[in-house]
Structure 1
Amino acid sequence: MAVDFQRQIPASFERVQRSEYGYNAKQVDQFLQRARVSLETPNAAVHAIGSADVRSVSFDPVKGGYSASVVDAALDRLEDAFARRERDELIASSGEEAWLRDIGQLSGILRGRLHRPDGERFRRPSKKKIRSYNTVDVDNLCRDLIGYLEEDKPLSVDNVRRAVFRPAVGHDGYEENQVDAFLDRVVELMAAID
Structure 2
Amino acid sequence: MTDADLEAITTPQDDVAPAFPLTSGRQRGYHRAAVDSFLDAARAAFEQSRADFGADDVRAASFPLVKEGYAIADVDAALSRVEDAFAQREREEAIRRVGVDAWVAQARDDAQQVLDHLSRPHRQRFARTGILTFGYRIDEVDHVADRISAFLRDGAALDVEQVRGAAFRMQRGGYREEQVDALLDVTVEVILAVR
- Normalising by the smaller structure, the TM-score range is 0.7 to 0.9
Task: Identify which of 118, 121, 124 aligns with 1:120.
Answer: 124
TM-superposed CA distance for 1:64, in Å, is: 0.8
Kindly indicate whether residue 147 of structure 2 is the aligned counterpart of residue 144 of structure 1.
yes
TM-score for the superposition, normalised by structure 1: 0.85
Distance 1:157 1:81 in 2: 14
Partner of 1:12: 19
Aligned equivalent of 1:92, options 96, 116, 124: 96
- Superposition pairs for residues 179-190 of structure 1, below 5 Å? 179-190=180-191
For residue 95 of structure 1, report the CA deviation from its aligned partner: 0.7
Q: C-alpha distance in 2, partners of 1:32/1:166?
A: 29
Q: Unpaired runs of 5+ in structure 1?
A: 1-10
Matches of 1:32 and 1:157, distance apart in 2: 21
After TM superposition, the runs of 4+ consecutive aligned structure 1 residues lying more than 3 A away are: none
1:34-183 alignment to 2 at 5 Å?
Answer: 34-42=41-49, 45=50, 48-125=52-129, 127-170=130-173, 173-183=174-184
Q: Identity percentage over the alignment?
A: 39
Query: Which residue of 2 is the match for residue 32 of structure 1?
Result: 39
Cα separation, 2, equivalents of 1:102 and 1:142: 21
User: How many residues are treated as equivalent by the alignment?
Assistant: 178
Q: Distance in 2 between matches of 1:187 and 1:116?
A: 20
- 1:164 deviation in Å? 2.2
Give the root-mean-square deviation of aligned CA atoms: 1.7
Q: Distance in 1 between matches of 2:69 and 2:86?
A: 26
